[in-house]
């Protein structure tokens, strides 16, 4: 046992030295390119998000380079895997630093993002997370920004939208109390709904351990006299709720957050029951708007036919935000140090307006995006579901 | 009327727990092992039926049969490869092996079908609900709901009806099989005393294989019914209901067939009623609290046999 521990320690020590050795060899001395780092899970359970971010960012980098770069500077994307693990994310960050990274697109998931955020704040390296939605992802320094809404922020915009469009006065909610995403949205929603005079007449929960039968929760929402059902959850459970709701006679409008993107594909031939469901998502691949359609086509070409999700769109916008900020700050020297670049970018970020695929966005000095929520309605025609702007 | 609706959904959920619990309890009663891979056999049953139904040529009844056959064979093969060599090993080794088999099945399904959830087509798709109760026009059987001002008070879907009826039929058939047939009596004998049964000329290995075959075919039926009622199918579909059903089996008295049935149905009803009247967040906590209380006063479960400890 002791022997194997020694070997393990030796092996780990060897692993730690490897990045330094390769790091020295890889130092980028090319004078007209800048390395943009990327960190996210491209293996493991959350891989679907990381791969989407990687592809979305790569697509933006390719487009920018083809159009002549940023003020003549070409971008290189170096994407590292963190397997949705905070420790591995910090290791990946150190690897990227050794590879002379000048700005970071990442990380993709919240917990690693918080860990890496502490490091980038210390090193003063510019960081923009496409999809880290926990509050603390951008609080460790003024160098960190994000493209997506925070979870509570999404709840607030949902309540505002429902109030502004006068969709309902009484709302029923079914949420996943074991999931931070779901309970985060609910928290923001409850606070804002109160301020806007929306009454929440039923708040029903489920957990990761009991998410097959929703008939009781649905029945309670129906009995509560709610005029609208708010579902701050993911599309798999939403599909079950709609299916069970249909047989229980649930016939109120349904409103959900970006987690519902994917509902049409999930329901397949049963899509008719999702007719009229409102989804608040910054991006949907089937959105007919020109910008989304162009991005979707280019993404499909890059990946060999995959449909982009919201994460890909967020990453695409993150890279374009860096480009816009670099142009605003007038960065023309590719040999600028990462810290100097960060000082310029964090000022420029608050001055730009990015007309991206996830909407027209400006940023506050806190790193939070300001953009109008896009709410789309699922329209079913025969057995085909599509999104229509609302 | 809401109370009856909650009760019906509890019965529907409970019937499925009961079907799964039957498989746990039979295997435990005869082979004295906890087959933690049982939940994943349900998932395999679901995927087999899904694949069969998705192919255009296969009628629904045939896909259910294919699913039962595949699961039965799988159950026997797992027993032969993974559990039989450990017949005389300590129980802990067998338990760990069962967990290993469970992970193997999950990951094999991940590899073949991917991690995204499939929308399972119900086996009684397009069938009208079994029963509808309207405020004014009263009770209607086998009719589709219509858009009227008449308030719908109670719905019993065809899936719910089929789940409950199938569970009851299977339990009755199983009780008959165990008590009245030769093979069933052999099972009882093996469960009482393996050594003595062997001396009486009972083929213990064949009996254990038969138990796994029956348990796994029940898992296939449970898989199809569960996915019809709750049409979300992914490689982890079976694991949580599997654990709940295991709890149901312990609740009712593990090793006892009527016990598994009662345990399953009680578990489903308690879960739904506590969701409805206490808190939808606390329902699992309440279910397990009831289990703990029952086990404090009756350590072998509701219908469990009293074990006399020899000192």
- B9-37 residue pLDDT tens: 999 999 999 999 999 999 988 888 888 99
Residue A287 lies in a domain: no
Do residue A105 and residue A46 come from a single domain? yes
Distance of alpha carbon A389 from alpha carbon A385, whole angstroms: 13
Q: Do B231 and A207 touch (CB under 8 A)?
A: no
Q: Lowest-pLDDT range, A271-285, B145-159, B168-182, B249-263?
A: B145-159
pLDDT one-digit tens code per residue, B80-112: 999 999 988 888 999 999 999 999 999 899 888
Which positions in chain A touch B121 (Cβ < 8 Å)? 269
- How many domains does chain A fold into? 2
Do residue A138 and residue A170 come from a single domain? no
Residues 6+ apart with CB under 8 A from B310: none
Whether the pLDDT of residue A192 is over 80: the answer is: yes
Please state the φ and ψ torsions of residue A169, each to the nearest 5 degrees.
-100, -30
Which positions in chain B touch A267 (Cβ < 8 Å)? 119
List, in sequence order, every residue forming a beta bridge with B140; answer none if it has no partner: B132
Computed on alpha carbons and rounded to an integer, the radius of gyration of chain B in Å comes to 20
Residue A31 lies in a domain: yes
Taking residues A278-302, what's their average pLDDT?
86
Whether the pLDDT of residue B305 is over 60: the answer is: yes
Contact B45, B23 (CB under 8 A): no
Distance of alpha carbon A126 from alpha carbon A117, whole angstroms: 10
Residue A11 lies in a domain: yes
CA of B5 vs chain A CAs: smallest distance (Å): 8
Q: Where are the domains of chain B?
A: 11-122+178-297
Find the Cα–Cα–Cα–Cα dihedral A131, A135, A138, A141, rounded to 10°. -170
Which positions in chain A touch B271 (Cβ < 8 Å)? 210
Tell me, what's the pLDDT at A10? 60
* B226, closest residue in chain A (CA to CA): A212
Give the residue from A251, A281, A311 where a domain finishes: A281
Spatial CA neighbour of A56 closest among A148, A119, A125 = A148
Do residue A132 and residue A256 come from a single domain? no
B134 and chain A in contact, CB less than 8 A:
no
DSSP A335: T
A270 and chain B in contact, CB less than 8 A:
yes
Cα A27–A29–A34 angle (5° rounding)? 90
B2 and chain A in contact, CB less than 8 A:
yes
Which positions in chain A touch B13 (Cβ < 8 Å)? 212-213
CA of B44 vs chain A CAs: smallest distance (Å): 17
Q: How many residues would you count in chain B?
A: 311
- Residue B18 class from Cβ within 10 Å (0-12 exposed, 13-18 middle, 19+ buried)? buried
Tell me, what's the pLDDT at B308? 59
Q: Do B117 and A236 touch (CB under 8 A)?
A: yes
Distance of alpha carbon A370 from alpha carbon A155, whole angstroms: 14
Q: Do B284 and A215 touch (CB under 8 A)?
A: no
Whether the pLDDT of residue A218 is over 80: the answer is: yes
- Domain span at A233: 152-281
Do residue A51 and residue A109 come from a single domain? yes
Domain containing A68 — which CATH number?
3.40.50.2300
The separation between CA B171 and the C-alpha centre of its own chain, rounded to angstroms, equals 11
Contact A189, A159 (CB under 8 A): yes
Spatial CA neighbour of A172 closest among A144, A209, A141, A203 = A203
Best mutation target, A177, A208, A216, to test chain B (most B CBs within 10 A): A216
If you write DSSP's letter for every residue of B173-202 in order, what string do you get?
Answer: HHHHHHHHSHHHHHHHHHHH-HHHHHHTT-
Closest CB to B232 among A236, A248, A269: A236
Tell me, what's the pLDDT at A28? 45
Matching residue, tokens 């609302």: A390
Do residue A8 and residue A139 come from a single domain? yes
Helices (H), chain A: 2-26, 47-66, 86-98, 110-123, 151-164, 180-195, 215-223, 235-248, 263-267, 290-303, 310-329, 338-349
Taking residues A369-390, what's their average pLDDT?
83
* A223, closest residue in chain B (CA to CA): B2
Residue A246 lies in a domain: yes
Taking residues B141-151, what's their average pLDDT?
75
- Assigned token pair, A122: 């210390």
Do residue A271 and residue A202 come from a single domain? yes
Distance of alpha carbon A254 from alpha carbon A251, whole angstroms: 9
Contact A138, A367 (CB under 8 A): yes
Closest CB to A249 among B119, B152, B279: B152
pLDDT one-digit tens code per residue, B218-235: 999 999 999 998 888 988
Q: Do B284 and A248 touch (CB under 8 A)?
A: no
Mean pLDDT estimate for chain A: 87
Best mutation target, B275, B276, B283, to test chain A (most A CBs within 10 A): B275
Tell me, what's the pLDDT at A26? 44
Which positions in chain A touch B117 (Cβ < 8 Å)? 236, 239, 266
Contact A263, A287 (CB under 8 A): no
pLDDT band at residue A24 under the 50/70/90 scheme: very low
CA of A248 vs chain B CAs: smallest distance (Å): 6
Spatial CA neighbour of B260 closest among B14, B38, B6, B32 = B14
CA of A344 vs chain B CAs: smallest distance (Å): 42
pLDDT band at residue A60 under the 50/70/90 scheme: very high
Residue A288 lies in a domain: no
Residue predicted with more confidence, A57 or A374: A57
CA of A247 vs chain B CAs: smallest distance (Å): 7
- Assigned token pair, A372: 């109008």
Best mutation target, A213, A221, A237, A268, to test chain B (most B CBs within 10 A): A213
Tell me, what's the pLDDT at A23? 44
CA of A292 vs chain B CAs: smallest distance (Å): 24
Q: Do B230 and A217 touch (CB under 8 A)?
A: no
For chain B, the distance separating the N- and C-terminal CA atoms, rounded to the nearest angstrom, is 54
Matching residue, tokens 């995403």: A181
Spatial CA neighbour of A100 closest among A338, A339, A340, A344 = A338
Q: Do A247 and B155 touch (CB under 8 A)?
A: yes
Q: How far is CA A257 from CA A17, A152, A351, in A?
A: 45, 11, 28
Residue predicted with more confidence, A269 or A6: A269
Peptide bond into A107 cis (omega under 30): yes
Q: Do A212 and B117 touch (CB under 8 A)?
A: no
Contact A205, A179 (CB under 8 A): no
pLDDT one-digit tens code per residue, A71-116: 999 999 999 999 888 999 999 999 999 999 999 998 998 889 999 9
Q: Lowest-pLDDT range, A187-201, A321-335, B130-144?
A: B130-144
Distance of alpha carbon B267 from alpha carbon B247, whole angstroms: 8
Mean pLDDT estimate for chain B: 88
Do residue A21 and residue A83 come from a single domain? yes
If you write DSSP's letter for every residue of A283-322 in order, what string do you get?
Answer: --TT--SHHHHHHHHHHHHHHTSPPP-HHHHHHHHHHHHH
Tell me, what's the pLDDT at A4? 57
- ipTM higher than the 0.95 cut: no
Do residue A175 and residue A247 come from a single domain? yes
Tell me, what's the pLDDT at A22? 47
CA of B203 vs chain A CAs: smallest distance (Å): 41
Distance of alpha carbon B124 from alpha carbon B142, whole angstroms: 12
Which positions in chain A touch B283 (Cβ < 8 Å)? 210
* B12, closest residue in chain A (CA to CA): A213
A360 and chain B in contact, CB less than 8 A:
no
List, in sequence order, every residue forming a beta bridge with B139; answer none if it has no partner: B133
Do residue A62 and residue A125 come from a single domain? yes
B241 and chain A in contact, CB less than 8 A:
yes
CA of B148 vs chain A CAs: smallest distance (Å): 11
Taking residues B166-184, what's their average pLDDT?
91
B232 and chain A in contact, CB less than 8 A:
yes
Q: Do A215 and B119 touch (CB under 8 A)?
A: no
Taking residues A214-226, what's their average pLDDT?
92
pLDDT one-digit tens code per residue, B189-207: 998 888 899 999 999 999 9
* A215, closest residue in chain B (CA to CA): B9
Pairing of strands A369-370, A359-363: antiparallel
Q: What percent of chain A has pLDDT over 90?
A: 53
Taking residues B105-122, what's their average pLDDT?
85
pLDDT band at residue A32 under the 50/70/90 scheme: confident
- Assigned token pair, A336: 């600028």
CA of A145 vs chain B CAs: smallest distance (Å): 31
Residue predicted with more confidence, B52 or A249: B52
A28: alpha, beta or left? (left if phi > 0; alpha if psi -120 to 50): beta
- Residue B199 class from Cβ within 10 Å (0-12 exposed, 13-18 middle, 19+ buried)? exposed
Do residue A195 and residue A208 come from a single domain? yes
Q: Do A220 and B272 touch (CB under 8 A)?
A: no
pLDDT band at residue A202 under the 50/70/90 scheme: very high
CA of B109 vs chain A CAs: smallest distance (Å): 15
Distance of alpha carbon A46 from alpha carbon A57, whole angstroms: 17
Write out the H or E segment, with its range, that includes residue B249.
Answer: helix B239-252
B129 and chain A in contact, CB less than 8 A:
yes
Spatial CA neighbour of B256 closest among B222, B300, B307, B212 = B300
* CB atoms near residue B51 (< 10 Å): 17
């Amino acid at each position: 046992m002791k022997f194997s521990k020694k070997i393990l320690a030796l092996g780990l020590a060897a692993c730690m030295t490897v990045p330094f050795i390769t790091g020295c060899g890889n130092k980028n001395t090319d004078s007209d390119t800048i390395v943009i780092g990327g960190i996210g899970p491209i293996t493991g359970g959350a891989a679907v998000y990381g791969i989407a971010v990687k592809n979305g960012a790569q697509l933006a980098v390719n487009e920018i380079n083809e159009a002549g770069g940023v003020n003549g500077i070409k971008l290189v994307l170096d994407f590292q895997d963190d397997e949705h693990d905070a420790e591995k994310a910090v290791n990946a960050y150190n690897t990227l630093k050794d590879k002379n990274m000048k700005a970071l697109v990442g990380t993709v998931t919240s917990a690693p993002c918080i860990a890496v955020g502490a490091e980038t704040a210390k090193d003063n390296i510019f960081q923009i997370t496409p999809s880290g939605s926990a509050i603390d992802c951008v609080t460790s320094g003024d160098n960190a920004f994000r493209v997506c809404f925070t979870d509570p922020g999404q709840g607030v915009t949902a309540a505002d939208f429902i109030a502004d469009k006068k969709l309902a006065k009484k709302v029923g909610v079914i949420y996943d109390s074991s999931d931070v995403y779901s309970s985060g949205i609910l928290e923001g929603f409850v606070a804002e709904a109160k301020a806007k005079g929306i009454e929440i007449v039923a708040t029903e929960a489920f957990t990761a351990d009991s998410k097959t039968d929703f008939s009781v929760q649905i029945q309670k929402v129906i009995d509560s006299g709610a005029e609208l059902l708010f579902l701050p959850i993911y599309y798999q459970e939403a599909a079950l709720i709609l299916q069970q709701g249909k047989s229980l006679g649930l016939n109120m409008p349904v409103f959900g957050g970006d987690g519902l993107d994917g509902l049409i594909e999930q329901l397949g031939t049963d899509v008719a029951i999702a007719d009229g469901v409102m989804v608040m998502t910054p991006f949907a691949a089937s959105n007919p708007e020109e910008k989304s359609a162009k991005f979707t086509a280019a993404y499909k070409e890059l990946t060999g036919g995959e449909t982009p999700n919201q994460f890909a769109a967020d990453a695409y916008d993150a890279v374009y935000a860096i480009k816009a900020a670099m142009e605003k700050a007038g960065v023309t020297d590719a040999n600028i140090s990462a810290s100097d670049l960060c000082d310029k970018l964090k000022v420029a970020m608050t001055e730009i307006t990015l007309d991206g695929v996830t909407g027209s966005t400006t940023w506050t000095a806190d790193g939070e995006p300001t953009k109008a929520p896009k709410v789309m309605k699922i329209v079913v025609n025969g057995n085909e579901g599509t999104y229509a702007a609302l | 009327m809401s109370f009856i609706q909650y009760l019906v959904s509890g019965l529907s959920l409970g019937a499925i727990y009961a079907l799964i619990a039957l498989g746990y309890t039979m295997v435990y009663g005869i082979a004295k092992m906890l087959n933690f891979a049982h939940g994943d056999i349900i998932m395999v049953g679901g995927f087999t039926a899904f694949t069969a139904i998705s192919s255009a040529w296969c009628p629904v009844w045939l896909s259910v049969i294919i699913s039962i056959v595949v699961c039965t064979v799988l159950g026997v093969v797992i027993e032969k490869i993974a559990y039989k060599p450990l017949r005389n090993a300590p129980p802990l080794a067998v338990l760990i092996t069962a967990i290993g088999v469970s992970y193997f099945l999950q990951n094999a399904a991940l590899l073949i079908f991917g991690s995204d959830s499939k929308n399972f087509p119900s086996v009684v798709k397009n069938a009208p609900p079994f029963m509808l109760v309207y405020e004014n026009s009263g009770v209607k059987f086998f009719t589709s709901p219509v858009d009227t001002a008449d308030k719908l008070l109670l719905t019993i879907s065809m899936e719910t009806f089929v789940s409950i009826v199938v569970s009851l039929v299977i339990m009755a058939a199983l009780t008959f099989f165990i008590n009245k047939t030769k093979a069933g009596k052999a099972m009882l004998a093996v469960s009482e005393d393996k050594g003595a049964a062997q001396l009486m000329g009972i083929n213990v290995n064949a009996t254990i294989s038969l138990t796994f075959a029956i348990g796994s075919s029940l898992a296939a039926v449970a898989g199809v019914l569960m996915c019809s009622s709750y049409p979300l199918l992914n490689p982890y579909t079976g694991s949580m209901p599997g654990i709940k059903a295991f709890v149901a089996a312990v609740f009712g008295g593990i090793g006892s067939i009527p016990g598994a049935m009662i345990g399953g149905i009680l578990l489903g009803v308690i879960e739904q009623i506590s969701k409805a009247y206490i808190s939808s967040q606390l329902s699992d906590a309440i279910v397990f609290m009831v289990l703990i209380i029952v086990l404090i006063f009756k350590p072998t479960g509701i219908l469990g046999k009293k074990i006399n400890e020899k000192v």
